[in-house]
Amino acid sequence: MKEILLSNGTVQTMTFEEVSKQFEPMVIKHMNDANNKFTYNAVEREDFKQILDIEVWRAYEAYDIEQGNCFSTYLHFKLQKGVRNATYHRYAQKNQGTTISSSAPIGDDELKLEDMFSTDDTSTDSIFFNELAEIIKENVTEEEQDALNCLLNKKEFPVVDYAAKHNMTRQAANQRVKKLQKKLRQIIAQEYLEI
């Protein structure tokens, strides 16, 4: 049993089964919204529901009322991850035979984070980008902000400018930026890409 903060401001002590039953309409809504985007090739409802139910369990297990978030907000992001996991192969089918590294520049311009993770379906762009942006925001310290700016805006804030601002060699600045890039890759792989 866990204390759950509901969106109406009340706190209830609930079992997982009670949480699962109470938030089932939210699960169904996420599932239907995602499946409605696939006219002919929707995800099998039972499989989809099972994936989202696992995310409800993960949300229940990891939820901490001391953080001050109501459970539905916390669950929302977990369900988004479940939707992404259930539907990812549908989007991946569009790109079969194409291999693109997220760290490699494409074309003549340096890509920014939102370019690297965009898909053809703009309805999913903001979900994925917001989730990534939130993960990055939570894991970048104040001292790393300039390195992040350098990483994402190489044209406006190149490594040379970063080095000058922090009174260091270009090589040292480059190492800091690469260190942050490596750190963010690992965090994104664990928190965003892990199924």
% pLDDT > 70, the chain: 74
HSE-CB of 119 using CA atoms within 13 angstroms = 19
Distances in Å between the alpha carbon of 161 and those of 60, 113, 175, 188? 45, 20, 14, 27
Q: Tell whether pTM > 0.75.
A: no
Residue 93 DSSP one-character state? G
**149-169 confidence digits (pLDDT tens):** 888 888 888 888 889 988 999
Taken in order of first residue, the domains within the chain and their CATH numbers are 1-99 (1.10.1740), 101-195 (no CATH)
pLDDT at 108 over 60: no
What are the tokens at 79? 């369900």
pLDDT at 47: 87
Angle at 167 between CA 162 and CA 173, to 5 degrees: 45
Predicted confidence (pLDDT) per residue in 19-76, tens digit: 999 999 999 998 888 888 776 677 888 888 999 999 999 989 988 888 888 898 888 8
Task: Tabulate helix, strand, coil % of the chain (nearest 5).
Answer: 65, 5, 30
Name the residue with higher pLDDT: 13 or 90. 13
Residue 111 confidence (pLDDT) above 70: no
Q: Is it the case that residue 126 has pLDDT exceeding 80? A: no
